[in-house]
Amino acid sequence: MTKRVVLIGHPVAHSLSGAMQQAAFDALGVDATYEQWDRTTLQLADAVGEIRDDAFLGANITIPHKERVVPLIDRSTEDALATGAVNTLTREGRRLVGHNTDVPGFAAALDRLVGRQKMPRQAVVLGAGGGARAVVFGLIREGFQRVVVFNRHLHRAEGLVRFFGRSAAHMELKAMPWHESIIESELAKTRVLVNATSIGLTSDESPLPAGILPGDLLVLDLIYNRTRFLRDAEAAGSIVLDGETMLLHQGAAAFSLWTGQPAPLEVMAAALAEARAQGLRSAEGEPAGETPVPAIERSEPAPDAEAAPDAEAAPASEEAAATTAG
Ligand code: NDP
C-alpha cells in the first residue's frame, strides 16, 4: 500500500519541500506520496490524530504549528525538547514522536559556511523566532562561547535566552537591544553573523545597513534567497551562505527518519532547484523567486580572525518568555 507523508501548516501551497521529498521517495523506490494539508489551529488536533494511522510514515509541521503541535504528540526528541518546536513527526505504532530537523539543518549550513577554517566561538544572531531557536541551540551544541541575540522586540530575545538558560550555563548567551551602534560594536567582536529574522523574505530589504558590516565575517541568512543582506555582506568581503543548505538538510534528516534510509541529497538538491525555477515556495515561506538566483557558493576561506572570548557573564533576564510563531 502506498504510504502517506503530509505537510501540515497554514497556509500551505505547493511547496519546495513537497518537490524535494517526492523526488527522494521516487529515486529510492519508496512507495510513498507527499501531500500538503492546509489546517488551521482549530483543525490541528484532528489532523495530528489522523497521522497515527498505519497509512502514514509521518509528517512535516510548519508555520504556524511548530510549537502548538508539541502537546498533541506522545514524545519529543532532544532537539525538539531543546528548542520547544517540532517540524517532523514519526510514528511508533500509534504513538507520535516529534523531532526538530531544523537543528541538524542549521548544523550542516554552519559546517558548509565555516568550511576548513577553525570553528569560531562567537556569533551574533538577528531574530528570536522559531528559526533563531534552532540556530542558537545549534551554536550552543557546537561549542560557541559567546552568542549575542538581537531582536526588534527585546523581550522575545530575552525569553529565548532564558529558555536556553540551563543548556547555555557554561557560556555567554546574551539578549541585547536592537540599536545599530550596539550591533556594530558586537560585530567587531564576532566571527559568525546569522540573519534569522524574516526581513528580506518578501522585499529587498536588509536587517542592517551595509555600512556597519565588517568585511571578515561568516554570514548566513536563513532566507532561501540571495538577499540584500547577503549581497551587502559579500560586497564588504565576508563569506556568505543562503538558507538553501539548511532547507535541504532539514528535509534530508526528515526523509531518513521516515524511511530509515540515507537521503539522496543530490536528487533532493536538484528537485529543489527545479521547483524553485518553477516559482514554488518553501514551507517556511521563502519566496522562490520569479528570477531564481542560485544559492551562493563559498568563496576562498577567510583567515581565521576569531576575537578573544569575552569572559563577562550573561545577565539573567526576568522578562516573561514570548511565544515563538514559527
Ligand atoms: P518567526 O515568525 O518565528 O520570527 C520572525 C523573526 O523576524 C522575529 O525575530 C521577528 O522579530 C523578526 N522580524 C520580522 N519582521 C521584522 C521587521 N520588520 N523588523 C525587525 N524584525 C522583524 O519566523 P521563523 O523564525 O520561523 O523564520 C524566520 C526566517 O527564517 C524566515 O524568513 C524563514 O523563512 C526562515 N527560516 C528558514 C529555514 C530554512 O530551512 N532555511 C528554517 C526556518 C526558518 P519580532 O520578534 O520583534 O517580531
Residue with cell 519566496: 287
Residue 30, CA distances (Å) to 6, 93, 116, 127, 256 in order: 15, 19, 35, 38, 12
Lowest mean pLDDT across 35-49, 110-124, 305-319? 305-319
- CA pair distance 46, 56, nearest whole angstrom: 14
Task: Give percent of the chain above pLDDT 70.
Answer: 85
Q: What is the pLDDT of residue 11?
A: 85
pLDDT at position 206, please?
A: 98
**3-state SS track over 19-73:** HHHHHHHHHCCCCEEEEEEECCHHHHHHHHHHCCCCCEEEEEECCCCCCCCHHHC
Ligand 1 centroid vs 303 CA: distance in angstroms? 30
Instruction: Report the nearest atom of ligand 1 relative to the CA of 105.
Output: 40
pLDDT band at 278 (very low <50, low <70, confident <90, very high): confident
Q: Of all protein residues, whose CA lies closest to atom 32 belonging to ligand 1? A: 198
Q: Which residue has the CA at smallest separation from atom 36 of ligand 1? A: 222
> Ligand 1 centroid to 27 CA: how many Å?
33
Distance 324 CA to ligand 1 centre (A): 9
Q: Determine which residue's CA is closest to atom 39 belonging to ligand 1.
A: 247
d(CA 295, CA 222) in angstroms, rounded, equals: 12
- Non-local (6+) Cβ contacts of 128 within 8 A are 149, 151, 153, 156, 157, 159, 160, 175, 196, 322, 324
The answer to whether residue 324 scores a pLDDT higher than 70 is: no
- 194-244 confidence digits (pLDDT tens): 999 999 988 999 999 999 999 999 999 999 889 999 999 999 999 999 999
* CA 156 – ligand 1 centroid, Å: 12
The Cα–Cα gap between 244 and 229 comes to: 15
DSSP 8-state secondary structure symbol assigned to residue 220: E
Model confidence band, residue 281 (pLDDT cutoffs 50, 70, 90) = low
Check if 195 has its Cβ closer than 6 Å to any atom of ligand 1: no
C-alpha cell at 118: 577553525
Q: What is the pLDDT of residues 35-60, one digit of tens each?
A: 999 999 999 999 999 999 999 999 99
pLDDT tens digit sequence for 60-115: 999 899 999 999 999 999 999 999 999 999 999 999 999 999 999 999 999 999 99
Asked if residue 315 has pLDDT above 60, the reply is no
| Ligand 1 close to Cβ of residue 325 (< 6 A) | yes
Beta bridge partners of 151: 177
Query: In the prediction, which pLDDT does 284 show?
Result: 62
Query: Residue 285 CA: which ligand 1 atom is closest?
Result: 34
Least confident of 1-10, 151-160, 213-222, 271-280: 271-280
pLDDT value for 169: 93
Rounded Cα distance, 39 and 59, in Å: 13
131 lines ligand 1 (CB under 6 A): yes
Q: What is the DSSP string of 116-182?
A: TSPPPSEEEEE--SHHHHHHHHHHHHHT-SEEEEEESSHHHHHHHHHHTTTTTTTSEEEEEE--HHH
* Mean pLDDT confidence for 254-279: 94
